[in-house]
A = this chain, B = another copy of it.
Amino acid sequence: MPPATEAFVPQLAPRLRLPAHEESLPAFRELALAWAGRAGLADEFVQRLDLVLEETLMNVFHHAYPGELGEVELALVPSGQGGQPRDGEPPGSLSVSLTDWGVAFDPLAPEDQALEEGLEANLEAGLEARAPGGMGLFLLRTLARGSYARVGAANVLTLTFGPESAPVSGA
């Protein structure tokens, strides 16, 4: 079976597509970290990438394909590389694009804004009151800069890691 992509000119964006279940996590992680290294990403951004990749992939594994097994694709675009020139992207940054073909969902702007606000307001709440849900999306939005688009039947989430690519947290 020919891959579905044969009509496209490649853009030097390495990519991996695997079944959307937990077993696929290590392979995605390995590829992302290998390219983070090649892109010269500083350690703090590598760690954020690692975290955000786990959060977004776990969400796709568990929520994107209710009752069926779908796929998810990771593409990596080091700055300055690829067919399209990366305008103004500083060296040592890496863009990560995650595509799934599951239910439409924008993780950067959750439908349930109330829950989100509740969570943020809740950050300093006591142990008893603290709800564990929603933390994955919260970390995603806090530690990565990115954009979401529904393209045809696909969710495409693009996240960029590197200097000036994530809101400064804490400091």
Q: Could you list which residues of chain A lie within 8 angstroms of chain B, going by C-beta atoms?
A: 1-19, 27, 31, 34, 69-71, 73, 75, 77, 82, 84, 95, 97, 99, 101, 149, 151-154, 156, 158
Q: How far is the CB of A120 from chain B (nearest CB, A)?
A: 29
* Identical copies of this chain, number: 2
CB nearest to A16 among chain B residues: B16
In the complex, what residues of B have CB within 8 A of residue A27's CB? 31, 34
Query: How distant is A45 from chain B, measured CB to nearest CB, in Å?
Result: 18
For A31, the chain B residues whose CB sits under 8 A away are 16, 27
- Cα A6 to Cα B152 in complex, Å, equals 7
How far does the alpha carbon of A15 sit from the alpha carbon of B3 in the complex, in Å?
8
In the bound complex, residues from chain B placing their C-beta under 8 Å from that of A34 are 27
Residues of B within 8 A of A158 (CB): 1-2
Do A1 and B11 contact each other (CB < 8 Å), given the known contacts A16-B16, A27-B31, A31-B27? yes
